[in-house]
Structure 1
Amino acid sequence: MATLPAVQSHFPNRPQFQGFMKPCGVEGEAFNLEIEGKIPDEIDGTFYRVMPDPQFSPFIENDPWFNGDGNISAFQLKNGRASFKQRYVRTEKLTREREAQRALLGKYRNKYTDAVEFKIRTTANTNVVHFNGKLLALKEDAPPYAMDPVTLETLGLHNFDGQLPSLTFTAHPKFDPATGEMICFGYEAKGDGTPDICYYRIAADGTFLETVWLVSPVVAMIHDFAVTANHVVFPIMPQVCDIDRLKAGGEHWQWSPETPFYIGVMPRVGATAGSVKWFRHPNCFPGHVANAFEDDRGQLVVDIGVSPTNVFFWWPDANGNSPRPETIVSRLTRITLDPASEHLDILPEQVKTLQSSNSEFYRIDDRFAFGRHRHVFYDAMDPALGTDFPSIAPNLGGGYPLYNSLEHLDLETGKTSVYFPGRHHMVQEPVFIPRKGSTEEGDGYLLALVNNYATMGSELHLVDTGNFGETLAKVVLPIRLRHGLHGNWVDAAE
């Protein structure tokens, strides 16, 4: 256990705790929020999102922003009005630190640096999904925490009535739009530094349908994954873990420029440990998956963000090298794989860049998940749009990628449409809301939390996908919400 320094009431003088990234520490409710424009009456549901938001100053001076406590926001849109609710996930960490009135957790995913021993060491701060009547607050180092979707009360650690076989649970489960099945996995599934992957399918009523144990070719991060009608795809990021480094007080993750980008492919149903094939792509950083599907030839088509350099620059390589944040570029990339092939090295002709801007946080119309998709929505950075960087730079804070616009890519026509929220704004991850009564893919609305650096406040921007360049409605929030990670739209009918 770590030797604790004196309690600090202020946060470290580091970019990840300054400007817009200053921790919020807010729980509460706000009703009848100010709206500019009009929210269509047909929209009836809640946008849930989570941000890492440390409640106490860490005793690790350069603690990454990924290590904050999970704070869940719920934005309800109904009858043309908007309301807001926010509560922390009552993890073991949060509860015990409130009792001690100080930080007790040490380095990111390194239990050997903690001040106390935790039974479940997680911040539940990466994603929040709705499943079988509950919200599940997710971080890929532990089981979910369940929450009430209306009150945001934490119901407790959720192991699916004892069915969960893995010590870990993905932050990016996938949902079958036809059956409601949730498809999941955990990596480092038998504990820190282990190469084990546990794959499982869960029926809409919470019953486990199948469990498969696999061994990864390298102990590394698998942040997102892809599912098609018949296959599962595991993109392994070359951020590697070494248990001896952890025990010595080092970082959980270290960039490995020598490690390939491995892509595991196996059957979605009826797989065994021997079913998986590990394809190899030259070293790069795989980000979030937009979608995957099987084409008419039975090939797997995976649309995923790819950067040639280490996007998680705060975890450098063994020599301390990492790219400058302003040089990092990611683009939506299509990788086509033959699941029957015995040739496992991915060739250049199997890889195609789909768009030109620096992009991430890809979303589709989820009703078309696992099948061929036409429309992709995402965050983008285009300096030519006119962002006033000199004026907002002092308030940006640090530790995360910056995007100044939303884009819509039509894969059939190749056309890209851009939504630019303003010269003093940056966007967070969008969510797609289908238009009521429409079955056409991509017909609906895009909703995203937006940082306004002129007012140092947060806004919700709503865009009609049929008129993508214009603001349909803007909800002005009474507080500033630091940059979050992921979230999802839940229709009231669910």
Structure 2
Amino acid sequence: MATTIPTTLPPVASHYPDRPQFQGFMKPGRVEGEVQNLEVYGKIPDDIDGTFYRVMPDPQFPPFIQDDPWFNGDGNISAFRLKSGRASFKQRYVRTEKFTREREAQRALLGKYRNKYTDAVEFKVRTTANTNVVHFDGKLLALKEDAPPYAMDPDTLETLGLETFDGQLPSLTFTAHPKFDPATGEMICFGYEAKGDGTPDVCYYRVAADGKFLETVWLVAPVVAMIHDFAVTENWVVFPMIPQVCDLERLKQGGEHWQWSPETPFYVGVLPRMGAKASDVRWFRHPNCFPSHSANAYEDATGNIVFDFGLSEKNVFFWWPDAQGNSPRPETLHSQLTRLTVDPRSESLELTAANVSVLQMGNSEFYRVDDRFATKPYRHVYFDLMDPALGTDFGAIVPQLGGGYPLYNSLGHLDIETKHTEVYFPGRTHMVQEPVFIPRRGSTVEGDGYLLALVNNYATMSSELHLLDTKDFTKAQAVIMLPLRLRHGLHGNWVDAAEITK
């Protein structure tokens, strides 16, 4: 595929912009390769046998957009293999169309985040595949919600190509947070802006474990807004809409894809999971707020939908302000694990304070559960937590942070039944990334297993993996040292070895 560089572009940059998101711990690493026999302090239990896959935005070239957000970088997949008490590491970029064409041109060609009108060349699929990575039907799927997935080999991390499920994929977009039925292996998915940028169309689809599409439902949302995550119960699908809205004319004028809309309600779409028609969707309304990641959802004994997720009163994506340029200071943001209870049969679409309760008061995000209990009543939830009282040395961290405000300095475990929270604090110069849960081999008890998380060490400017046993949550079972620094990532998942070899 030939690449033509317009002569009107600025000169090729020889270094990354002097902006916080490209400096300190966030300096792009651009590493591909592998490291065997990582150093381990403590002991990796012998019953752990699998791979932790995660993805980070890691731009291979300096952008020509000077204040490019950090999450507009190329998707770089890390694979941490744990077996027989040992750990190894492998990392490769997703060979997206963007990546390969920029490598050929030896410069950045992509413009603003999700704005094709600012690109140097025309892309067929302009995704960076940098938000999540899941394992499905023998392949890794590298995901970003603006395009179809890219398929990769789980062992070699070789990119196999754009994944359209043998031509079955009905929409132009695919969620970064597909859900999986633990009993059947079914993958439940959707795409928003499913007919292209600025369109209100939402496409919902279910995919059998063998990759066959089971049904497709096309919906029209009340506003063109972000639906980053969603939730699934046994009989329902829940679409929480973030009041960051898209306007096609703004895009054509070179503006941002997203703009905070304080006038827009927090919409919650509810759709039957199976056998639905477009007319079956109901868009409940709640006063303006910011829903973040989902923990889990299920139906209670009365048939109500119980949906647990992070909720903030303010615009968490503060770098996309409202039309007047207003946005909250990052240090004022506070997201809490919140429970929303919705009667899907209610005649009223208005949600009030009576529908909402806070499960955990701390400033938290990136919620994970024992996935064997997804879509069902559950008791245990794990998450990133910020508690300034724990003793973090903010003075040492902030100069190396790479912009923004220190996010999460600990891992939390909430027992929903007892309301007790356990906290793991990794150290005074550490910040945590999203955890993953690993079930203990042979156990069917919810929450019996391990928690694994990538941790930033700002004193050594390198990355570590911290492994916790859920039976002794407040201290590390093992700390696995990496001889390099991995940028802050977004999402990842644990895949048991038995799943990869099926």
- For this structure pair, what is the TM-score category when the shorter chain's length is used for normalisation? over 0.9
2:436 is paired with a residue of what secondary structure?
A: strand
Stretch moving more, 361-370 or 8-17: 8-17
Partner of 1:95: 100
CA contact (8 A) 2:219 2:278 kept: yes
1:484 pairs with one of 458, 482, 489: 489
CA contact (8 A) 1:11 1:58 kept: yes
1:387 is paired with a residue of what secondary structure?
A: coil
Structure 1 position 55, deviation (Å)? 0.5
| Counterpart Cα distance in 1 of 2:203 and 2:404 | 30
| Counterpart Cα distance in 1 of 2:114 and 2:234 | 34
Matched, 1:199 2:204: yes
CA contact (8 A) 1:2 1:113 kept: no
Partner of 1:134: 139
**Any gaps of 5 or more consecutive residues in structure 1?**
none
CA contact (8 A) 2:456 2:464 kept: yes
Matches within 5 A, 1:147-158: 147-158=152-163
| Counterpart Cα distance in 1 of 2:404 and 2:458 | 16
Partner of 2:311: 306
Partner of 2:287: 282
| Counterpart Cα distance in 1 of 2:88 and 2:417 | 37
CA contact (8 A) 2:398 2:406 kept: no
Partner of 2:430: 425
Matched, 1:258 2:263: yes
Opposite residue 402 of structure 2, the aligned amino acid is: G
| Counterpart Cα distance in 2 of 1:422 and 1:154 | 37
1:493 is paired with a residue of what secondary structure?
A: helix
Query: What do residues 67-110 of structure 1 show as CA deviations (whole Å, max 9, x unaligned)?
Result: 00000000000000000000000000000000110000000000
Structure 1 position 273, deviation (Å)? 0.7
Partner of 1:410: 415
Partner of 2:3: none
Partner of 1:107: 112
| Counterpart Cα distance in 2 of 1:349 and 1:145 | 42
Q: Which runs of 4+ in 1 moved over 3 A?
A: none
Opposite residue 434 of structure 1, the aligned amino acid is: P
Opposite residue 453 of structure 1, the aligned amino acid is: Y
Partner of 2:216: 211
Structure 1 position 400, deviation (Å)? 7.4
Aligned residues with identical type, % of pairs: 79
Matched, 1:320 2:313: no
Partner of 2:16: 11
| Counterpart Cα distance in 1 of 2:211 and 2:404 | 36
2:476 is paired with a residue of what secondary structure?
A: coil
2:428 is paired with a residue of what secondary structure?
A: coil
CA contact (8 A) 1:2 1:106 kept: no
Matched, 1:125 2:97: no
Partner of 1:79: 84
CA contact (8 A) 1:377 1:409 kept: yes
Partner of 1:469: 474
Structure 1 position 3, deviation (Å)? 3.5
Opposite residue 94 of structure 1, the aligned amino acid is: F
| Counterpart Cα distance in 2 of 1:451 and 1:120 | 32
| Counterpart Cα distance in 2 of 1:325 and 1:72 | 28
**Any gaps of 5 or more consecutive residues in structure 2?**
1-5
| Counterpart Cα distance in 1 of 2:77 and 2:403 | 21
Opposite residue 334 of structure 1, the aligned amino acid is: R
2:387 pairs with one of 382, 387, 392: 382
Structure 1 position 342, deviation (Å)? 1.3
**Relative to structure 1, is the Cα distance of residues 418 and 66 closer, same or farther in structure 2, using a 3 angstrom cutoff?**
same
2:99 is paired with a residue of what secondary structure?
A: helix
Query: What do residues 458-493 of structure 1 show as CA deviations (whole Å, max 9, x unaligned)?
Result: 000000001000110000001100000000000001
Opposite residue 101 of structure 2, the aligned amino acid is: R
2:81 is paired with a residue of what secondary structure?
A: strand
Matched, 1:66 2:39: no
Structure 1 position 392, deviation (Å)? 1.4
Structure 1 position 399, deviation (Å)? 4.8
CA contact (8 A) 1:314 1:399 kept: no
Opposite residue 146 of structure 2, the aligned amino acid is: D
Matched, 1:57 2:62: yes
CA contact (8 A) 2:97 2:126 kept: yes
CA contact (8 A) 2:331 2:405 kept: no
Structure 1 position 60, deviation (Å)? 0.3
1:99 is paired with a residue of what secondary structure?
A: helix
Matched, 1:443 2:448: yes
Matches within 5 A, 1:232-251: 232-251=237-256
2:176 pairs with one of 165, 171, 175: 171
1:430 is paired with a residue of what secondary structure?
A: strand
Structure 1 position 175, deviation (Å)? 0.2
Count of aligned pairs between the two proteins = 494
| Counterpart Cα distance in 2 of 1:2 and 1:206 | 45
CA contact (8 A) 2:118 2:254 kept: yes
Partner of 1:493: 498
Matched, 1:26 2:11: no
Query: What do residues 258-286 of structure 1 show as CA deviations (whole Å, max 9, x unaligned)?
Result: 00000000100011110000000100000
Structure 1 position 328, deviation (Å)? 0.7
Partner of 2:399: 394
Cα root mean square deviation, aligned: 0.9
